[in-house]
Every structure is written in C-alpha cells, then in structure tokens.
C-alpha cells in the first residue's frame, strides 16, 4: 500500500549526475520546503566529488550501497536509459519510490518489470514527461476532452524533434540503447 509523505520533507537522492540531473537539482532547490536532497550516486569519481562538494551532501559510487545506508523516500534516475529498469527494481526492493527520466526503459519487458516491481513493493513509479504541460499539448488535450474530434478510433503522431550530433558525442552511451 502506498502512503503519502506528510509532516516532513521528502528524502531524495539523484542517481547519475550528468546533463539532465541539473534540472532535478534545480527543482529540488525550488521546492526545498518539501524536498530534501540527501545523497547522490555516480560512477564517475570526479563528477561525484564535484557534485557532493557543490551540494554539501553524501555521495556514493554504488547504487545499492546508497540504498542500504540512506533512509530515502525517492530516487531520481538520471542514468543511461538502459539502466533504469534494473535500478528501479532495486529501489523498489528497498521500498523507495522511483522517478525516472524518459524513456523509462529501452525494451518493453524491462518497462513491465519496473511496473511489476514497484507495484509489488507498494512504491510509486513516475516517468518524467516534461512536455505534458506545453501549450500545444494542452490545447490538444482540451479539444479531446471537449470531444471536438468526435469518437477517436486511432491516433498517429509524428514528432519531429531532433538532437544535434554534439548531444550524442557528449556521452558514449547515447544512441546505443544502453
């Protein structure tokens, strides 16, 4: 059974201190009245040292060591996409809620295993979808709710977002499915 955290801050750790983690650090700072950053985890010792120094928190190189030693409510997975499933399942084993960057998994069965593990452990699994609030999608959502299109039988969507080559060159795992 999932329980809300009340009368205290949500004890949070960020896993993976690369590019996207900066957004999460910023959000935690913005919501410091209800969220407390207690630890970070990264396999790169230099990145880990810089991050722990910047935020004044404890750092771990091994995810499970952190789960064993910290009393966490939530982990935020900012690691390569192919690691999300294993990490979410491990967090669930320790009864820790999971927020994961997209994609939640790179294979269908890995995503299913994440959901099953979190359900079994009674913890929440949240997948970041930062565009759900953008103006175009909100306009479309409103039109669907008002039944502007009548009964919808099928939807096809093309998303024409691209990433420059520099994005893929910035981390060796990008574009590999890892």
- Residue by residue, pLDDT tens for the chain (178 residues) are 567 778 899 999 999 999 899 999 999 999 999 999 999 999 999 999 999 999 999 999 999 999 999 999 999 999 998 999 999 999 999 999 999 998 899 899 999 999 999 999 999 999 998 777 788 889 989 999 999 999 999 988 887 777 788 887 877 777 776 7
19 and 105 together in one domain: yes
Number of folded domains that form the chain? 2
Distance between CA atoms of residues 76 and 114, nearest Å:
14
pTM: 0.81
79 and 137 together in one domain: no
Check: CB of residue 76 under 8 Å from CB of residue 15: yes
114 and 52 together in one domain: yes
Domain that holds residue 142: 132-169
92 and 152 together in one domain: no
């Amino acid at each position: 059974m999932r329980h809300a955290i009340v009368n205290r801050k949500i004890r949070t750790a960020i896993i993976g201190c690369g590019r996207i983690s900066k957004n999460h650090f910023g959000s935690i700072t913005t919501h410091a009245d209800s969220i407390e950053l207690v630890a970070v985890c990264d396999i790169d010792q230099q990145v880990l040292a810089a991050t722990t120094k910047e935020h004044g928190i404890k750092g771990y190189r091994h995810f499970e060591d952190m789960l064993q030693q910290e009393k966490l409510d939530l982990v935020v997975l900012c690691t390569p996409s192919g690691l999300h499933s294993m990490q979410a399942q491990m967090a669930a084993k320790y009864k820790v809620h999971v927020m994961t960057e997209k994609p939640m998994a790179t294979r269908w069965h890995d995503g299913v295993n994440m959901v099953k593990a979190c359900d079994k452990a009674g913890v929440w699994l949240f997948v970041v979808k930062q565009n759900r609030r953008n103006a175009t999608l909100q306009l479309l959502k409103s039109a669907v709710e008002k039944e502007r299109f009548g009964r919808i039988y099928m939807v096809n969507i093309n998303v024409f977002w691209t990433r420059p080559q520099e994005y893929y060159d910035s981390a060796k795992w990008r574009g590999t499915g890892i």
